[in-house]
Amino acid sequence: MSGPRWLVPLALLGALLVAAPLVGLMARASWGELWTLITAPESLEALALSLRTAVASTLLVIVLGVPLGFALRAVHGRVRAGLRAVLLAPLVLPPVVGGLALLYAFGRRGLIGAPLEDAGISVAYTTAAVVLAQTFVAMPFMVVSIESALAAHGERREAIAATLGASRTRILARITLPALGPALATGAVLAFARALGEFGATLTFAGSLAGVTRTAPLEIYLARETDPDAAVALSLVLLVVAVAVVAIAYRPAATRGLR
């Protein structure tokens, strides 16, 4: 399936539009100093924080996002459409809007944040706030991944297991979850990548302090001011991770298509 020939120039233009900025970034890098720049204390501290928080939010996304995917399959019709629209909104929401929304929910004067503050629990400006922001933006990847896998999976084997007297939890653990493996992996990898790249919501909601809330994207944003070379070097690290993640995450999808 290669389509009519006039698609080719448009495809080339499209490829140029996507690839040119990436090449531009690489062209700007001072390759000789790259290692020194990446291993500078500020860069390492930011990368380590990014890694820690992205892992934590990916775990949260698995624990909360998988049940949400199931919940989405359990409801039908308009309820499902409405619920899906709400759950996937962070995917397309401008990050700064997400940050403001988080602020008014979990901020010091927020809907949930204010009572928590009174109880002596403060989320603002902590690493937990970063994880919260990352989980918020990364969750949709897992929800949508699980939901579509469940739709494709069908319920035949579950029904048989039920007639054989297996409990729901047993069916979930022994039949459904193993079948969802690839979808879960794809969802987790994409969620991890999204968490790693989170910027706007973190900046708005969690703040920016070295070692506590200043993740790699925030460090890049700040380094731009005084040390563009360091900003480019860190950007390259995130670029490599992004390309690697997509390469990993879309492999199962490709083999599914071939079958």
Partner 1 sequence: MRGLASAASAALAAACALSLAACAPETDAAAGDRTLTVLAAASLADVLEPIAADFENEHPGVDVVTSYAGSSDLAAQILEGAPADVFASADEANMDKVADLVAGTPAVFATNTLTIVVPEGDPMGIEDLASFAAPGIVSVICAPQVPCGAATATVAARAGVTLSPASEEASVTDVLGKVASGQADAGIVYVTDVARAEGVEAVPIEGAEAVVNRYPAAAMAGAAEPELAAAFVDHLSAQAARKALSDAGFGTP
Q: Using CB under 8 A as the criterion, which residues of the chain lie in contact with partner 1 when the complex forms?
A: 4-6, 103, 107-109, 124-125, 203-204, 206-210, 213-214, 218, 221-226, 228
Nearer of residues 135 and 213 to partner 1, judged by Cβ: 213
Q: Using CA atoms, how far apart are residues 160 and 208, in angstroms rounded to an integer?
A: 53
108 or 256: CB nearest partner 1: 108
Q: Would you say 42 or 158 has its CB closer to partner 1? A: 42
Give the angle 144-149-152 at the CA atoms, nearest 5°: 130
Query: Token pair for residue 28?
Result: 């700007």
Q: Smallest gap, in angstroms, from Cβ of residue 132 to partner 1?
A: 14
Whole-number minimum distance, CB 55 to partner 1, in Å?
Answer: 23
- Residues 238, 110: Cα–Cα separation, whole Å: 32
Q: For partner 1, give the closer residue by CB, 207 or 252.
A: 207
Q: State the Cα–Cα distance between residues 60 and 130, nearest whole angstrom.
A: 13
Between 45 and 158, CB nearer to partner 1 = 45
Q: How far is the CB of 45 from partner 1 (least distance, A)?
A: 13
CA atoms 199, 237, 223, 216: torsion sign: positive
Name the minimum Å distance from CB 108 to partner 1: 6
Question: Under 8 Å CB-to-CB from 92, ≥6 apart: which residues?
Answer: none
Residues in contact with 218: Cβ distance below 8 Å, sequence separation at least 6, in sequence order: 46, 199, 202, 203, 208
**Whole-number Å distance between alpha carbons of 211 and 236:** 21
CB of 104 to partner 1, least distance (A): 8
Query: What residues contact residue 187 under an 8 Å CB cut-off, 6+ apart?
Result: 61, 62, 65, 141, 142, 143, 144, 145, 146
Q: Min. distance of Cβ 224 from partner 1 in angstroms?
A: 7
Q: Which is nearer to partner 1, 56 or 220 (CB)?
A: 220
